Amino acid sequence: MEVPLCRSSYDDCKGTADWLQNRIKHTPRVAIICGSGLGDLADLIEDKIVFPYKDVPGFPTSTVAGHAGQLVFGKLQGRECVCMQGRFHFYEGYSLNTVTFPVRVFFLLGVETLIVTNAAGGLNGSYNVGDIMVIKDHINLPGFAGQSPLVGHNEDRFGVRFPCMSDAYDQKLRALAIQTAKEQKCGSFMQEGVYCMLVGPTYETIAECKILQKFGADAVGMSTVPEVVVARHCGLRVLGLSLITNKVVTDYDSHEKANHEEVLATTRLRAKDLQRLVRHLVTKI
């Protein structure tokens, strides 16, 4: 049987990393992937060097509303970092290999910590719209269906064939996030819970939401897990933050309907709090 090869090889990732390395002034230690409507964080970066994805060799372009589509290198509160303003989603038609390509490039650039943010639907009945959930664990539902970014040839220069995922979300970073949230007066709307990824682009049916609640998921979204799997494969420390933009519908009599406009409206309301939290957090990493 033919062994499938990674579509982006180590050399492809290295080629992109070298291209970027030749054009940046500082080596980033922290990478931040901004979710829908949360990209304004990159505006706070000082001493910026910006690369639209279309100009970066090997980078796909991002299509979804609410995503700018550029890499921003520079300093956030004095810490060297790189920010992805706009991520790639599986539902856009990219392979999981392509979705996670930037994470491998970050690793090759010397990044040690990955912060991922996303918008998510609240499954936990005690969560409110506008809560920020520190991701404690995830459920890789596409993985249950055979869709993992690590399927195929294993590139040992990135990581081992069978990476551990029971410690995917760094305990110290989670504690730091909660402590920083308290300091930044965000403590009253912080949660810690389990994120479940579905492929999308449909929002969930009522029956699906009920299953996910029974699975023990607290929030549901269409991103993040592939990037985290690849980040852990290559040994990056990960912190995940979900902004609860809507409550999922679990009642057949409800007239509520999940929609992208509500998701973006909530991110606009909470974006500044999330930015402040991440900005202060990076100084402590």
For binding to ligand HPA (CB under 6 A), which residues are involved?
Answer: 119-121, 203-204, 220-222, 245-246, 248, 258, 263
Choice between 72 and 197, CB closer to ligand HPA: 197
- Nearer CB in complex with ligand HPA: 236/248: 248
CA triple 33-97-134, angle to 5 deg: 35
Q: Nearest distance from residue 166's CB to ligand HPA, in Å?
A: 25
Query: How far is the C-alpha of 153 from the C-alpha of 147, rounded, in Å?
Result: 14
CB of 266 to ligand HPA, least distance (A): 9
Residue 87 corresponds to which tokens in the numbers above? 């991520």
- Closest-approach residue to ligand HPA (CB): 121
Residue 120's closest CA among 258, 10, 216?
Answer: 258
Count other Cβ atoms within 10 Å, centred on residue 22.
7
* Active centre residues (catalytic): 36, 67, 89, 91-92, 119, 222-223, 246, 260
Q: Which is nearer to ligand HPA, 86 or 121 (CB)?
A: 121
Rounded to whole angstroms, how far apart are CA atoms 126 and 47? 41
Q: What's the Cα-to-Cα distance from 249 to each of 171, 206, 258, rounded to whole Å?
A: 31, 6, 8
Q: Which is nearer to ligand HPA, 8 or 224 (CB)?
A: 224
Instruction: Specify the residue, 150 or 249, whose C-beta has the smaller distance to ligand HPA.
Output: 249
**Smallest distance, ligand HPA to C-beta of residue 35, A:** 8
What's the CA gap between 91 and 80, in Å, rounded?
31
- Using DSSP, state whether 108 is helix, strand or coil: helix
3-state secondary structure 131-172: CEEEEEEEEEHHHHCCCCCCCCCCCCCCCCCCCCCCCCCCHH
Find the shortest distance in angstroms from Cβ 126 to ligand HPA.
Answer: 16
Closer by beta carbon to ligand HPA, 60 or else 121: 121
Decide: residue 161, CB within 10 A, 0-12 exposed, 13-18 middle, 19+ buried.
exposed
Strands 70-76, 79-85: pairing kind: antiparallel
Supply the minimum distance, in Å, between the C-beta of residue 34 and ligand HPA.
14
Q: Closest distance between ligand HPA and the C-beta of residue 197, in Å?
A: 9
